[in-house]
Amino acid sequence: MKTPSVSLLLGVSVLLLSGLTVSAVSLNVSPNRLQFFEGESVSLRCEGQVVSDGQTVKRTRGGQTEDCGPAGSGFGRFDGFSCIISGLSVSDSGGYWCEDRDGQRRDEVSISVFLKDDHPFILEIPALPVMTGSDVTLRCRSDSNNRPTVFFYKDGVLLGSGPDGELPLSKVQQSHEGLYWCSTDLYGSSPQSRLRVRDSSAI
């Protein structure tokens, strides 16, 4: 059966999102994606209530909870109100969230960091929930110049294939929520990540 053709673009790229918003208090992730290669950097910021008002960025890994900044257990540094993690390593993989002085968590995000030797491709997928009615583009990303055929999957179902590496989703609905990954004909599959969708009418 012929699979539907999708427009794809492979290579170092910036995730282009439109119509995205976050909840009143949330963890802002820049760049807005869940998967990173080792050596990249990420900025984390509590939106809605600034860090000085009691919000701070925390993470858990290996069952241990750590705070960002000099007062914490040694991950990242604060630049203004943003927690910057430079030179990400596989050990930085974990759950990140905003927490207030009362210990209330908000919008935990699971960030994963991969070695290029283990995963030549990663999937650029938003870390933050996508609002219904907005547009989003998923990309299968590598710093290689090779352009193998790329296949996109959602919850185990093939969505389409093509030679370039990009899957546009228009006017996102709740049915778009699910587990996505990309697979190549030469280098195997990317790790899987979940696309979260939030009802814009409930904001």
Q: Looking at the chain, which residues constitute the CATH 2.60.40.10 domain(s)?
A: 26-114, 115-202
| CA-closest candidate to residue 182, choices 57, 1, 32, 6 | 6
Question: From CA 195, how far away is CA 202, in angstroms rounded?
Answer: 18
- Sign of the dihedral through C-alpha 26, 137, 179, 111: negative
Q: What is the pLDDT of residue 13?
A: 35
Give the DSSP H/E element, type plus range, for residue 122: strand 122-124
**pLDDT tens for the chain, residues 1 to 203:** 444 444 444 333 333 333 343 344 578 999 999 999 999 999 999 886 444 456 788 998 888 888 888 655 578 988 878 899 999 999 999 999 988 777 788 778 999 999 998 998 899 999 999 999 999 999 998 877 777 789 999 999 999 886 678 899 999 999 999 999 999 887 889 999 999 999 988 76
Q: What is the pLDDT of residue 86?
A: 93
Tell me yes or no: is domain 26-114 CATH 3.40.30.10.
Answer: no
123 close to 180: Cβ distance less than 8 angstroms = yes
Q: Give the list of residues 6+ apart from residue 198 with CB closer than 8 angstroms, or none.
A: 23, 129, 130, 131, 132
Specify the CATH number for 115-202; select among 3.40.50.300, 2.60.40.10, 1.20.950.20, 1.20.1050.10. Answer: 2.60.40.10
Q: Give the list of residues 6+ apart from residue 95 with CB closer than 8 angstroms, or none.
A: 59, 60, 61, 108, 109, 110, 111
